[in-house]
Amino acid sequence: MSLSQWITIGVTVTVAVLLVFALRWVLKHKLGKVWRMSQHVVDRTTYTSYGAAAVVGANLSLPSRDNVDWSTYQTIQHAMSILMIATLTGLGVSLAYAVTDMVLARLSVANGDADRKARRIQTQVRLLRRVITSIIVVLAVAAILFTFDEVRALGAGLLASAGIIGIVAGVAAQSTLSNLFAGLQLAFSDALRIGDVVVVEGEWGRVEELSLVNVTIKIWDERRLVVPVANFTTTSFENWTKQGTAITAKVVFPLDWEVPIEEMREETGRLITRSDHWDGRSWSCQVVDIAPSGEVLVRVVATAADTGHQWDIACEIREHLIRWLVENYPESLPRHRAQFMASEDADEATYAAQFPTSAFRRHEPNGVSGPPGGDPGEA
């Protein structure tokens, strides 16, 4: 190519880049206050906008094949066409992210009951963004492939056998498609949202990311549990924040039968009502069962605004009441009782004095059973 042709390419590329620079300046400094999305567009398209401008400018200024005597010029033109498709694809993906960023930014300030709805919309927007990005990339790859003459010729043959190809492709992509539809089902059925507290495979955590293939759960100890999306539509799981963040804390104490229930209930009420982690809805302290080992099971229940406060108030109740019982009613702590029977040659009066409340009875020689140390027939 001649020097003038190189200059033309350079000038065109420079003008295209300057136009993009001017457009970004207007979006940032002039439209930023009246159009909220302008800042997101500027932030997301920093590199892709300049790259697309340079490549498009170069393609527009490339001379025709008749004016260039390079043997490889056709290959260069083809490569520039592919590069233009790739950069425009990147720009399109950046714009899609900019639009969704604006929506997500508005939803991030929601509180209370609105927070549940906001997290549902956030999940749907993030999933739709990935779907749109995937569609853009697939179309871009198809456009790049069809720039090759061999692929265009192959495409006509594929159309003739579309039925067979469709069956083969459907079987091959069955797992991927099932995950894709499972993700859409989760997002739009409101069964799972980003930020939900769930219990999956025995692990307690919070949904950190919901993609087209996997769900990433952040475990309380900073581990990450990655679960295929399809698992959430085929197996049951616990969602603690399905209808809201409010939740109930439960603490069970196995105690001795001598525990003073009324005093313990009063102390529990004093503790919970002045706790910063109680949401003010309800609390209770009740004997709910008797354990097979013989302890009385006392359950303390208190409501909390979210799972964080639920954990804190449960620990607070447990620590305070254990200390209170140890200091004031140590006989209430769980213990095992054992009763001993005197041997055959032991003195019955001595046995009765040592174990006056024993429920055991000794067999008398005359066949009459009575309490230790005395004959029930004696007056």
Instruction: Tell me, yes or no, whether 298 lies in a domain.
Output: yes
pLDDT tens digits, one per residue of 222-264: 999 999 888 888 888 999 888 878 899 999 999 999 999 999 9
Q: What is the pLDDT of residue 346?
A: 56
CA 179 – CA 187 distance, rounded (Å): 12
Q: What is the pLDDT of residue 349?
A: 61
- Domain final residue, candidates 80, 107, 134: 107
- Report the chain's C-alpha Rg in angstroms: 38
> Are the C-beta atoms of residues 98 and 44 closer than 8 Å to each other?
yes
Instruction: Tell me, yes or no, whether 189 lies in a domain.
Output: no
Give the CATH number, domain containing residue 292.
Answer: 3.30.70.100
pLDDT tens digits, one per residue of 72-102: 777 888 888 899 999 999 999 999 999 888 8
Give the 3-state secondary structure percentages of the chain, helix then strand then coil, rounded to 5: 55, 15, 30
3 state SS of 260: coil
* % of residues, the chain, pLDDT over 90: 34
Does the pLDDT of residue 310 top 60, yes or no? yes
Q: What is the pLDDT of residue 357?
A: 55
Neighbours of 63 (CB within 10 A): 15
Six-digit token pair at 74?
Answer: 């056709």
pLDDT tens digits, one per residue of 341-373: 555 555 556 656 665 655 444 444 454 444 444
Q: What is the pLDDT of residue 373?
A: 44
Residue bearing the bigger pLDDT, 203 or 168? 203
Instruction: Tell me, yes or no, whether 116 lies in a domain.
Output: no
Instruction: Tell me, yes or no, whether 226 lies in a domain.
Output: no
- Domain limits at 251? 247-332
3 state SS of 253: strand
Six-digit token pair at 287?
Answer: 């004997």
Does the pLDDT of residue 209 top 60, yes or no? yes
- Domain final residue, candidates 107, 129, 156: 107
At residue 140's C-alpha, the angle toward residues 134 and 142, to 5°, is: 105
pLDDT tens digits, one per residue of 101-132: 888 887 776 555 456 677 778 888 888 888 88
Average pLDDT, the chain: 80
Rounded alpha-carbon distances, angstroms, from residue 218 to 15, 157, 179, 205, 246: 48, 48, 20, 5, 20
Q: What is the band of 340 on the pLDDT scale with cuts at 50, 70, 90? A: low
pLDDT tens digits, one per residue of 154-194: 655 554 554 545 544 454 445 666 667 777 777 777 788 88
Task: Find tokens 């009385």 and name the residue.
Answer: 296
In 3D space, the residue among 66, 75, 87 whose CA is nearest the CA of residue 16 turns out to be: 87
Instruction: Tell me, yes or no, whether 297 lies in a domain.
Output: yes
Instruction: Tell me, yes or no, whether 84 lies in a domain.
Output: yes
- Domain final residue, candidates 68, 83, 107: 107
Q: What is the pLDDT of residue 285?
A: 96
Instruction: Tell me, yes or no, whether 148 lies in a domain.
Output: no
State how far Cα 208 lies from the chain centre.
4
Does the pLDDT of residue 55 top 80, yes or no? yes
Adjacency order of strands within the sheet including 197-200: 224-228, 214-219, 203-210, 197-200, 238-239
Residue bearing the bigger pLDDT, 252 or 59? 252
Neighbours of 243 (CB within 10 A): 9
Q: How many domains does the chain have?
A: 2
Q: What is the pLDDT of residue 174?
A: 54
**How many separate helices (H) and strands (E) can be counted in the chain?**
12, 10
